[in-house]
């Protein structure tokens, strides 16, 4: 049964068009019941599923009185975006993956996503040597890297391990000479965009 937009016709007799109109109402009810609470129920008309189709890599235009939530592919993976009013810069709301280890205390790399589109990395690196290169994945542009040597309690000593050469998805770890014996274990927190 499908909806017929040509029913009723002006010249149609009631005995004929009544069945056609009823069929149209049944088609509307069936179509509406997909992704909505059924009509006549407690939450009638409210969405229970929202499916967003791909916007073909184009951000929608928004006016001063509207915003948009939409789906867009990022590297071939569908993600959710928010577009503020007046077609301001879109904000990516989802990311294609996260990596959070269940192994105590930390994995060598974990990451999650925060809308904005920021990605947070953290982990525990063991056996770190002077000027060791650390490359994080998935790819991003690092904005911040913080390091702390494991088991160091003196705040002056803990500030002597620093990230250098922060570029793209990687950074180096440098020890200030004579302060920490190598190799060491290092916690890191990095934020990328």
Spatial CB neighbours of 135, under 8 Å, sequence gap ≥ 6: 169, 170
Give the residue with greater pLDDT, 98 vs 189.
Answer: 189
> Which residues belong to CATH 2.60.40.3940 in the chain?
110-192
Q: What's the confidence (pLDDT) of residue 159?
A: 47
3-class SS string, the chain? CCCCCCCCCCCCCHHHHHHHHHHHHHHHHHHHHCCECCCCCCCCCCECCCCCCECCCCCCCCCCCCCEEEEEEECCEEEEEEECHHHCCCEECCCCCCECCCCCCCCCCEEEEECCCEEEEEEEEEEECCCEEEECCCCCCEEEEEEEECCCCCHHHHCCEEEEEEECCEEEEEECCCCCCCCEEEEEEEEEC
Specify whether the CB–CB gap between 139 and 114 falls below 8 A: no
For 89-113, what is each residue's pLDDT tens digit? 888 888 777 776 666 566 677 777 7
For 130-182, what is each residue's pLDDT tens digit? 889 999 988 789 999 998 887 655 544 444 788 999 999 999 998 875 555 55
* CATH assignment of 110-192, among 2.60.40.3940, 3.30.1490.20, 2.30.38.10, 3.40.50.300: 2.60.40.3940
User: What is the CA 168 to chain-centroid distance, rounded?
Assistant: 20
């Amino acid at each position: 049964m499908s909806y017929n937009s040509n029913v009723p016709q002006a010249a149609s007799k009631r005995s004929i068009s009544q069945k056609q109109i009823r069929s149209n109402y049944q088609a509307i009810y069936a179509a509406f019941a997909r992704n909505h609470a059924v009509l006549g129920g407690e939450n009638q008309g409210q969405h229970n599923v929202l499916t967003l189709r791909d916007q073909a890599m184009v951000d929608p235009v928004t006016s001063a009185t509207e915003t948009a939530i939409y789906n867009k592919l990022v590297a071939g993976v569908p993600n959710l975006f928010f577009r503020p009013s007046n077609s301001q810069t879109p904000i990516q709301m989802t990311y294609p993956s996260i990596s959070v280890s269940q192994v105590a205390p930390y994995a060598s790399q974990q990451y999650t996503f925060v809308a904005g589109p920021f990605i947070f990395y953290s982990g525990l690196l063991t056996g770190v040597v002077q000027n060791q290169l650390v490359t994080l994945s998935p790819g991003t542009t690092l904005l911040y890297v913080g390091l702390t040597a494991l088991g160091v309690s003196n705040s002056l000593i803990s500030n002597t391990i620093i990230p250098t050469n922060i570029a793209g998805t990687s950074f180096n770890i440098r020890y200030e000479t004579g302060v920490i014996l190598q190799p060491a274990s290092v916690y890191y927190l990095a934020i990328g965009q």
